[in-house]
Amino acid sequence: MKLIPIKAAPKEFKEAVLHELGYGSDGKYVLESNGDKHVDPYSNVPVTLDNMIIMPGSVLVLDDNALSIASYIEEHGDIL
């Protein structure tokens, strides 16, 4: 498995990755397929393009805050 940092990637690259995963973007926020803002399931905040993270072995887009990352690892540590 190879990790690809996307924090500094161009907006167009991030939007293309999101599209492949079934998400969208309005240029600022990650959007669900129905157009609603995608909310991080752990921190309950809307995920922005600038703060999005996709964990290894997952297609779930999270906010890159410590709570979300730690919660994801606690819940899915067996796939990392």
Helix (H) or strand (E) holding 69: helix 66-76
Tell me the domain boundaries of the chain: 11-79
Give the model's pLDDT for residue 77: 74
In order of 14, 41, 44, the CA distances from 33 in angstroms are: 16, 16, 18
Which amino acid does the sequence have at 18?
L
If you average pLDDT over every residue of the chain, what do you get? 90
**List of residues 6+ apart from 17 with CB closer than 8 A:** 6, 54
Cα–Cα distance, 3 to 44 (Å, whole number): 25
Residues 57-68 have a mean pLDDT of: 90
Q: How far is CA 31 from the centre of its chain?
A: 10
Residues 33-61 have a mean pLDDT of: 93
Q: Which of 1-5, 9-13, 51-55 has the lowest mean pLDDT?
A: 1-5
